Amino acid sequence: MRRPRRAIVALGGNAMTTPDGSARPEDQRKAIEGTMEHVAGLIAGGTDVVLTHGNGPQVGNLLMKNEIAARTVPPASLDWCGAQTQATIGFTMASALEAALRRRGLGERDVAALVTRTVVDGADPAFARPSKPIGRYLAHAEAAEFIGLGQDWADFGARGWRRVVPSPEPREILEAAALRALLDADVVPVAAGGGGIPVVRDPGGALRGVEAVLDKDRTAALLGRVLGAGLLIIVTDVPNAFLDFGGPRARPIGRIRAADLRDYAARGHFADGSMGPKIEAVLRFVEGGGERAVITELESLEPGLAGRAGTVVEP
C-alpha cells in the first residue's frame, strides 16, 4: 500500500498522561517523550507529519485552579485556557520530538508549535444548548458560585454538578497559510491543539474568543483538508473502533469503506461521548477527498500509517 506523503496525526489525551491518567508536569513530559519516539519513526520513514492533540486533562487542571482561586482571582475564560494549554503542550512536544529526531540522525529537522485559532459560527445552534461537560464535579453550593458568574452547570445526580459549555462546529483554520509555509520549509508543525482556540467574527469582521470547546478530531479532519493531507490518523487508547462495543458480540473493525462505516454510525454503534466524534471525523476526511483515515492506538502508529493496523477507512 502506498504511503501518503502528508499525514495529520491527532493525539488523544492518553498520549500525554500516564496510564492512570495522571497529568502532573513530570508525568506529561515523560509520556510526551515516549509518544514523540513513535512520531519520529514516521518522519524518519519519509512522512510529512502535522501534529495535533487534545487538551482535556490540561484544561481540567486550569479549571480546577480557577475554582480554587475564584474568590481572589477572576477565572480565566475558556479561550485563554485553550491558548495556555496549546502553548504548554506544544513547546513540550516540540522539544521532545526534536530530541527524538536527533537520535535518528535528523537533527536538521525543526519543529514549531503554532498557537492556532479556529473560526466557529456565532449562530451555531450549540451556543443555545451548552452540553459538553468539562472540569470536575462539585456540590450544588459550590457550583452556584460559578452559575452566579454566568456559567452553565448541569445536575448529574449522585456525582454532583458539572459545568457544560457549547461545542460548535469548526469552520476555518486561521493559521492555515502559516502552516503551509512551515511545511514548505520542511518544519514539522504542532497545531490546533484542543481543536483550536474558538473564535467568532463580529459583524465588522473583528475576531474574538468565545466560551466553547472544540472537538479536536473534527478540527483535525478540517486541518487535513485545508493542508491537502492524504492521511488522517487518530491515536486513541484502543487498537480499533468496535461494533457493539462493550457487549458480548463486540468485534473490531478493520479495513472498511466509508459508506459502510457511515451506515454503522447511523445504526447507533458509536457513542457520542467517546468513539462517535472520531468516526464522524474520519468520515468527513475521507468523504472530503482524503485518501485514507485510521483509528488506532499509539503502539500501532507506524503500521497504522501504512494501513496494516487499526480501523482503516477508505473511500
> Cα–Cα distance between 67 and 83 in angstroms, integer?
19
Confidence of residue 1 (pLDDT cuts 50, 70, 90): low
pLDDT reading at 175 higher than 80: yes
> Cα–Cα distance between 288 and 224 in angstroms, integer?
10
> Cα–Cα distance between 25 and 92 in angstroms, integer?
10
Close Cβ partners of 256 (under 8 Å, ≥ 6 residues apart) = 311, 312, 313, 314
Report residue 200: phi and psi, to 5°. Answer: -120, 155
> Cα–Cα distance between 232 and 47 in angstroms, integer?
12
pLDDT tens-digit readout, 6-55: 999 999 876 787 777 667 888 899 999 999 999 999 999 999 999 999 99
Most confidently predicted of 62-66, 240-244, 282-286: 282-286
* Nearest alpha-carbon partner for 176 in 303, 8, 300, 11: 8
What is the arithmetic mean of pLDDT over 183-198? 96
Question: What would the grid cell of residue 300 be?
Answer: 500501532
Check if the beta carbon of residue 231 is closer than 8 Å to that of residue 221. Answer: no
Query: Which of 80-94, 137-151, 163-177, 214-228 is least confident?
Result: 137-151
* Nearest alpha-carbon partner for 116 in 259, 223, 238: 223
DSSP codes joined into one string, 217-251: HHHHHHHHHHTT-SEEEEEESSSS-EETTTSTT-E
Q: Is 307 left (phi over 0), alpha (psi -120 to 50) or beta?
A: left
> Cα–Cα distance between 189 and 186 in angstroms, integer?
9
Tell me what percent of the residues of the chain surpass a pLDDT of 70: 98
Query: 3-state class of 166 per DSSP?
Result: coil
Question: What would the grid cell of residue 37 be?
Answer: 519516539
Check if the beta carbon of residue 189 is closer than 8 Å to that of residue 178. Answer: no
Domains and CATH numbers, the chain: 6-119+171-314 (3.40.1160.10), 130-165 (no CATH)
pLDDT of residue 21: 67
pLDDT tens-digit readout, 123-162: 999 999 998 998 889 999 989 988 988 899 999 999 999 9
pLDDT tens-digit readout, 286-309: 999 999 999 999 999 999 998 999
Question: What would the grid cell of residue 233 be?
Answer: 490518523
Question: Which residue has cell 443555545?
Answer: 128
What is the arithmetic mean of pLDDT over 103-127? 96
Q: How far does Cα 172 stand from its chain's mean position?
A: 16
* Nearest alpha-carbon partner for 52 in 104, 8, 20: 8
> Cα–Cα distance between 281 and 287 in angstroms, integer?
10
Query: 3-state class of 4 per DSSP?
Result: coil
pLDDT reading at 3 higher than 60: no
pLDDT of residue 253: 96
Report residue 112: phi and psi, to 5°. Answer: -130, 130
pLDDT of residue 246: 75
* Nearest alpha-carbon partner for 284 in 228, 224, 235, 241: 224
Check if the beta carbon of residue 298 is closer than 8 Å to that of residue 35. Answer: yes
**Catalytic positions:** 13-14, 132, 216, 278
pLDDT of residue 4: 57
